[in-house]
């Protein structure tokens, strides 16, 4: 099932809810660009991403490539703070995404609960 994303502009953050499957690096990059574009559009750079129903079907190599690609379109300059509530099927992969992005100084952390994610974001 292809992925679908909806956004909600909250008072102090952007809420991004995604569902479906991401099965390629190109899809994952397109998803990230969509999130970054919405941040620019709304002026919200604190983001709660609810991916509990989004399944990533990617390799570790694709995850590393994803982090490299994010650097090429300037996501780091936006100074985003992103908390992701991960799909239970993707906890290990989500931690790999977190590690790859942290290695590039991104303010990104994955969580199992919305409460913990919101506390970390400060919202």
pTM of the model: 0.89
Contacts of 103 (CB under 8 A, 6+ apart): 67
Q: How far apart are CA 60 and CA 4, in angstroms?
A: 23
Predicted pLDDT of residue 21:
95
- Domains of the chain and CATH, by start: 4-121 (3.30.750.24)
Average pLDDT over residues 45-70: 90
Of 95, 100, 38, 94, the closest CA to residue 65 belongs to: 100
């Amino acid at each position: 099932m292809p992925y679908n994303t909806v956004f909600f502009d909250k008072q102090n953050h952007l809420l991004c809810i995604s569902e479906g499957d991401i099965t390629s690096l190109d899809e994952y990059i397109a998803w990230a660009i969509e999130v970054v574009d919405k941040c620019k559009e709304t002026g919200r750079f604190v983001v709660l991403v609810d991916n509990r129903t989004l399944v990533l079907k990617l390799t570790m190599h694709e995850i590393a490539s994803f982090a490299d690609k994010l650097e090429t379109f300037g996501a780091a300059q936006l100074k985003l703070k992103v908390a992701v509530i991960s799909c239970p099927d993707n906890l290990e992969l989500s931690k790999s995404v977190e590690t790859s992005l942290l290695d590039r100084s991104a303010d990104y952390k994955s969580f199992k609960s919305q409460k913990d994610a919101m506390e970390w974001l400060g919202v």
